[in-house]
Amino acid sequence: KPKVITIVRSGPKPRANVKILLNRRSVQSYEQLVTDISEAFGPKHRHAKIRRLFSVRGKEVHGISDFFRDDDCFIAVSVGEANPSDADVGELLEEIFPEGNYAKVFQREWEKNQRRSRRSVAGSLKSNRDAVNTNAAMGKYEAERRAAEDEKRKRGLVPPRNMENPFKKTEDPRDKEREEAARRKREEERRRREEERMEQEKKEKEREEREQAERAARERMQQAEQKEKEAQEKDRLEQEERDRKKKEKDDKAQRKAEKASKAKDGASGQNDASPGQKQDAAQTKDKQRESDATTAAPETSEPATAAAAAAAEDAEMSEAAATTAAATAPVAAAAAAAKDQAASQRQQQKEKRRQEREEKQQRKRAKTKIVRKTKEERQVASDDYILERYDLGRKLGDGNFAVVRQSRKKETGQEFAVKVIDKAKLKGKEHMVENEIDIMKDCNHANIVRLFEEYETAERIYLVMELVKWVSHFKPLGLSALMVKDLCNALYYMHSRSIVHRDLKPENLLVHRNKDGSITLKLADFGLAMEVKELIYTVCGTPTYVAPEILTEVGYGLEVDMWAVGVITYILLCGFPPFRSPDRNQTELFEFIKAGEYEFLSPYWDSTSKSAKDLISRLLIVDRRKRFTSVDVLSHKWVVSNGQPETVPDGAPSLDAACKKTRRELEDQAKVNYDSYQRHKAEKRKERERIRGEE
């Protein structure tokens, strides 16, 4: 069954140590296990690989089965370090077991086993020396015998028939053995050369495929850049055309306004003339008309004179009307010009608002756009491609094979968190990153850290994720219900799509402070997440938060996340975990977890509501079929009332009615989520098949 072991590095203080959860089914080989233990100590010890491992009783570890015996603690010796002395071991054991007589007992057993090991080594060396001496003596005897035979042949004491080859019978088997050894050596050399040739061909093929993928990626990037340039050029020409038309319209309106202003000035000048001047002008006009009439008809009759008088009167009236129209025309023209100018200004303001809306929508799309790429499409030529687009800033955190840095996109100035994964350290665990990318790209939820895009070079993988400006601690316990609500909202989103996280713990819960001062919890690190199609038997997780069905290896599913929610809620409300071993004994801890033994200790839980305790007791149930689901938690009284069970939510007649309504809505939405996710997966499969068909 699974077992937790502690590995302590020998050497000067401070001595590093790690705890590892072992499962015999998941360990491939002893060498791989030693490599994983070396990596578990982190990047600080990456150059100090582990050479040998000893139990605290002094027995050297030679295989995987040695880890599953009585001892739970082991001492690691790095390459280049000598085996620890008895005094060093005594000091180290005092650190591991500060209480009781365990340190002295283990030290006596260590010294005893080490003495036994040294005697065994000495006996083996003595046997080797005896064998060498025996072989030397036999060689000397054989040489003396041959010399005596040669002497006899020289003196003629040996019959001629025996001079052919007296050692033929003894040499034939030796010759066969030598020939067989030579044949095996040649065969081994040939096989080794064949393996080297195949390995070289494999590397060459991989290099060609990588170069081909890089060329294809460069071509796609060039095509995308060309399309982008063409689009920008088209936008520029359209903008120039709009500016030209707008300028022509403005010039036309300005000319109209100037013309109207000039006409208005002329009309006001005419109206400003004095009454005497107006009368003189009228008399002059009358005299001119009389003179013209007399000249034109000096001898007309009286009727003709009357007609002429009537015509003259009509002409005067027409002239007065024309004068009035001439005086009012500039005013009307000025009003029309002002109206046109106001309409032009309104049009300009409308165009400006439209452009601002378009720019705002473009910024919004650029901020929330998720770029979906296949493994081939995310290939780029080198790290310079990423560095040209992003400024990689300070380190936010690191792990065994990745570093997370705060970054800024140069084009838009937006901030992101970029996870830089070292592919050399990732060897053998590539599927974890691929799994994380696939799931994060399909998750779009306010309580889940989003993945926007990813890039891959020959040495690294870059994941551009949402930057959570987090706060490390939140002391008011009134926020605990909100934290649990956000966490279960994220799990509801995932579980309705049959996705299990499998690594829920406080380190993977990021608390974001919003602009209005409120906080939002976001779920991160999907390296162990997977889609549940059948029962899972892989042992994984952190000991404090691991569910009992994982330890008993009876198979598990989505329910392991809800057990972890119960543990996290317990810690939020009191500050320590529900399952713990006073002696820090992991075996004892696992027994408590499998039995589901915990309690609400006084005085830490005296002020906590019964509703909160009820929720925890329904989550920390060993039988996974009876354990609360995410829907059950989100419709629980403590969560619906945000930790205030005596408060009735707005718009609800009672708290029970609000809980029932929430449950109905969540159950209906879960079916919709599952169906939409299945359609999305079907579309992805069709797209992959189409791409393979085109290739």
Residues serving a catalytic function are 503
Q: List, in sequence order, every residue forming a beta bridge with 417; answer none if it has no partner.
A: 406, 465
Indicate the residue type of 641. Answer: S
> Are the C-beta atoms of residues 402 and 460 closer than 8 Å to each other?
no
DSSP 107-158: HHHHHHHHHHHHHHHHHHHHHHHHHHHHHHHHHHHHHHHHHHHHHHHHHT-S
Max Cα distance, the chain (Å) = 197
- Residue 14: cis peptide before it, omega within 30 degrees of 0: yes
Instruction: DSSP letter for 527, please.
Output: S
Structure tokens given for 651: 């718009």
- Give 368-376's long-range contacts (Cβ < 8 A, gap of 24+): 369/452, 370/441, 370/444, 370/450, 370/451, 370/452, 370/453, 371/452, 371/453, 372/441, 373/453, 373/454, 374/688, 374/691, 375/434, 375/456, 376/213, 376/216, 376/217
Q: Spell out the alpha helix ranges (H) of 65-101.
A: 86-96
Number of Cβ atoms within 10 Å of the Cβ of 259 = 14
Q: List, in sequence order, every residue forming a beta bridge with 405; answer none if it has no partner.
A: 395, 418
Q: Can you tell me the distance from the alpha carbon of 231 to that of 228, in angstroms, rounded to the nearest whole number?
A: 5
Torsions phi, psi of 74, nearest 5?
-135, 150
Is beta strand 451-456 parallel, antiparallel or unpaired with respect to 460-466? antiparallel
Buried b (16+ CB within 10 A) or exposed e, 396-425: beeeebbbbbbbbbeeeeeebbbbbbeeee
> Are the C-beta atoms of residues 596 and 622 closer than 8 Å to each other?
yes
Structure tokens given for 602: 């006084």
Angle at 663 between CA 660 and CA 669, to 5 degrees: 145
Number of Cβ atoms within 10 Å of the Cβ of 558 = 21
How are the residues of the chain apportioned to helix, strand and coil, as percentages rounded to the nearest 5? 60, 10, 30
- What is the enclosing helix (H) or strand (E) of 408? strand 402-409
Number of Cβ atoms within 10 Å of the Cβ of 134 = 10
Angle at 168 between CA 162 and CA 171, to 5 degrees: 155
> Are the C-beta atoms of residues 450 and 466 closer than 8 Å to each other?
yes
Q: List, in sequence order, every residue forming a beta bridge with 419; answer none if it has no partner.
A: 404, 463
Is 9 in a helix, a strand, or coil?
strand
Structure tokens given for 70: 């009585």
419 is in an annotated binding site: yes
N residues, the chain: 695
Structure tokens given for 134: 């025996």
Contacts of 472 (CB under 8 A, 6+ apart): 511
Place of tokens 């008309």: 289
Contacts of 396 (CB under 8 A, 6+ apart): 404, 405, 406, 417
> Are the C-beta atoms of residues 18 and 7 closer than 8 Å to each other?
yes
User: Which parts are annotated binding residues?
Assistant: 419
User: Which parts are annotated binding residues for ATP?
Assistant: 419
